[in-house]
Each structure stands twice: as structure tokens, then as C-alpha cells.
């Protein structure tokens, strides 16, 4: 059994704390948060103790740290945990700055830290099956991807102000999925964005709607659609088109019940948001981290993946600003 600390007692930290508490291969040793009351409440819920970062770093019996704190703290915690000999599972992104992210990569490599980045969508059973279908050749040679990622409602402007912008906060997941599914480097990025949902987001200097086109050196194309508003629920779909056919993963509904009548048929609504939609992915992701700690596998989502996804996010921002395709 491996001992682990959770840094961050917010919404995603609570998800990871629950999964770590229930995991037979983990001993949840500490909950850490800059608001002590939040850490204490979550620690009480899962029968562990609230702690401090200094306690975590100094505990020789602690094997790993799961970083689920605000993005602005990730780089500092990654470097400190690597220097202290703790293995790391970190939520995305590594940092909002590419050079800082690369410094984290160097620290992880220097200290031979086992590191997993929280690109949870790769662990979703439907998306994993879609990836296997592509690799198995069932649709022939992959030619085009369509990734749709629309949030149900925009976040508050207070969140926008510290998020790093749509491309680094939201699209970064889609950039990672595109790299994973395309199976080859992206050579060209073209992005267009608008503020169509909430004028306050535009006033804060961000966009809430975007279309991005990625092209690889061999000519494969990927189109990404992002919006901060989908009134019907959390819209998460991927379609892969190949020389012999198509494979797609559709939205997951709140139930499989459909009602049929003389006016037609109705289905249940799309699931509400990411915690519900990716519940299984978060559990599978943590299983993978435990296997990584045991030396049974290599990381499926690496710190290098985080650096490269951020590189695409920065390229998208340049493309939108310049109104042209750019090389990442």
C-alpha cells in the first residue's frame, strides 16, 4: 500500500480524496489546503488528518502527492515534491507559462520522479475504446477528427481572471486528446475565437467560443469546437473519420430511459458537468497511478504531454491574434 497526500480541498480535490480513500492500494495520509477549515472538513469526511505542505514534504513514510490545488501553485509544488523525493500526480495544466512548465519537466527528470498528469479524458472508457478502434485499423487510415467540448454554462468572471484563458484552461484537454488520437505531431494551428456567451468574459480579455483546426505533417486534420455554454448539458463528443469508415463516441445521458409516444420519442438529458461525465475516468486514472507507483506500467499521460498541450494552446492564442495559421 502506498501513502498519499492530497493538496487542494476544492471540488476536484474532493473527487480525488474520495477515490484515494476508497482505493485498496492507497493510504490517504494528509489533506492540505491554504484554507485550513477546508482541509479539516475533507479530512474528517475521509478519516484522515489535515496537514501542511511542510509536513507532507518532511514525512519519510509518504510515497506520493496528488496536486489538485489552483493552477498558480502547481509548478512550485511539483518542484518541491520532486526535490523531496515524492512521486506526483498533478492536475492539468502544469503551469500557464511554457518556460515554467519546461522547468518542472527538468525537475521531474532530474529527480527521477514518477509523474502522472491529470488529462483524465484519456482514461474515459468510451474514448479509450475509440482510440483502440483507430489503432486497430477498423476505420482504415485516420484522416480527420472532430472534437466537441462545450461546457453547460460559463464560469464566473473571477474564475476567468485566473484561468489563463480558454485555450489554456479548457481547450488544453482537447489539444491533448487531439495529439493522442492523431498519433503524430501537430505541425500547424489555426484558431478563431469570439465572445458570444457572456460579455463580461470579453471585458476580462478572454473568449468563450472557439474553433481550432490542427494539421499534421502528413495532412491529418482535427477540428476542435469549444463553447462555454451548452444549455442541454455537458457536451463531450469525438468523431474519427478514416479511409474505411467512422467511429464516434457520443454524449452520455443521465439515464438510458427513452419515452415513446404519438409525438415522437424523448431521451434523458446529457449529464450535467465534468465530475459526473468523467467519474469512471477519475477512478481509472488513479488506478493507473497506483500501477505506476508499483512499477507495473509507464505513465499514460506524462509531464511531456502537458508541455506539448500548452505549446499548442500558446500557438492557438498567437493564431487568433494574428489571424493566420502558425507553427507550434
How far is the C-alpha of 308 from the C-alpha of 264, rounded, in Å? 47
Provide the residue-wise pLDDT of the chain in tens; the chain has 328 residues.
999 999 999 999 999 999 999 999 999 999 999 999 999 999 999 999 999 999 999 999 999 999 999 999 999 999 999 999 999 999 999 999 999 999 999 999 999 999 999 999 999 999 999 999 999 999 999 999 999 999 999 999 999 999 999 999 999 999 999 999 999 999 999 999 999 999 999 999 999 999 999 999 999 999 999 999 999 999 999 999 999 999 999 999 999 999 999 999 999 999 999 999 999 999 999 999 999 999 999 999 999 999 999 999 999 999 999 999 999 9
Confidence at residue 194, expressed as pLDDT on a 0 to 100 scale: 98
Helix (H, G, I), strand (E, B) or coil at 254: coil
Contact 88, 68 (CB under 8 A): no
Q: What is the pLDDT of residue 227?
A: 98
Residue 47 contacts residue 66 (beta carbons within 8 Å): no
Rg (CA), the chain: 20
pTM above 0.85, yes or no: yes
Residue 140 has what pLDDT?
98
Q: In what order do the strands lie in the sheet with 186-194?
A: 186-194, 209-216, 221-227, 142-150, 235-242, 245-249
pLDDT at 134: 98
For residue 76, what pLDDT is reported? 98
Strands (E) in the chain, as ranges, are 2-7, 26-32, 49-51, 64-67, 87-91, 115-118, 142-150, 186-194, 209-216, 221-227, 235-242, 245-249, 258-261, 264-267
List beta partners, residue 260.
Answer: 265
The 10 Å CB-count burial string (b at 16+, else e) for 33-55 is: beeeebbeebbeeeebebbebee
Amino acid at each position: 500500500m502506498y501513502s498519499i497526500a492530497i493538496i487542494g480541498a476544492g471540488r476536484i480535490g474532493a473527487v480525488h480524496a474520495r477515490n484515494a480513500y476508497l482505493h485498496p492500494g492507497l493510504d490517504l495520509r494528509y489533506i492540505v489546503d491554504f484554507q485550513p477549515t477546508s482541509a479539516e472538513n475533507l479530512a474528517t469526511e475521509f478519516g484522515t488528518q489535515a496537514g501542511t505542505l511542510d509536513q507532507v514534504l518532511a514525512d519519510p513514510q509518504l510515497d506520493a502527492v496528488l496536486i489538485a490545488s489552483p493552477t498558480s501553485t502547481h509548478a512550485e509544488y511539483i518542484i518541491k515534491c520532486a526535490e523531496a523525493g515524492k512521486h506526483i500526480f498533478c492536475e492539468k495544466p502544469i503551469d500557464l507559462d511554457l518556460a515554467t512548465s519546461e522547468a518542472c519537466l527538468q525537475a521531474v527528470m532530474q529527480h527521477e520522479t514518477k509523474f502522472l498528469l491529470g488529462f483524465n479524458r484519456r482514461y474515459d472508457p468510451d474514448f479509450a475504446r475509440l482510440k483502440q478502434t483507430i489503432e486497430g485499423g477498423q476505420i482504415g487510415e485516420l484522416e480527420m477528427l472532430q472534437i466537441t467540448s462545450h461546457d453547460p454554462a460559463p464560469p464566473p468572471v473571477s474564475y476567468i481572471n485566473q484561468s489563463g484563458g480558454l485555450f489554456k484552461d479548457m481547450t488544453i484537454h482537447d489539444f491533448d486528446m487531439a495529439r493522442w488520437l492523431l498519433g503524430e505531431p501537430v505541425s500547424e494551428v489555426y484558431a478563431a475565437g469570439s465572445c458570444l456567451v457572456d460579455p463580461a468574459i470579453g471585458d476580462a480579455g478572454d473568449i468563450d467560443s472557439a474553433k481550432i483546426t490542427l494539421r499534421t505533417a502528413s495532412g491529418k486534420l482535427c477540428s476542435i469546437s469549444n463553447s462555454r455554454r451548452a444549455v442541454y448539458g455537458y457536451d463531450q463528443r469525438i468523431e474519427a473519420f478514416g479511409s474505411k469508415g467512422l467511429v464516434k463516441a457520443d454524449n452520455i445521458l443521465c439515464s438510458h430511459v427513452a419515452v415513446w409516444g404519438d409525438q415522437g420519442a424523448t431521451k434523458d438529458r446529457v449529464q450535467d458537468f465534468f465530475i459526473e461525465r468523467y467519474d469512471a475516468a477519475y477512478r481509472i486514472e488513479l488506478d493507473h497511478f497506483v500501477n505506476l507507483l508499483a512499477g507495473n506500467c509507464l505513465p499514460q499521460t506524462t509531464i511531456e504531454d502537458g508541455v506539448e498541450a500548452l505549446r499548442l494552446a500558446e500557438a492557438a492564442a498567437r493564431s487568433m491574434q494574428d489571424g493566420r495559421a502558425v507553427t507550434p
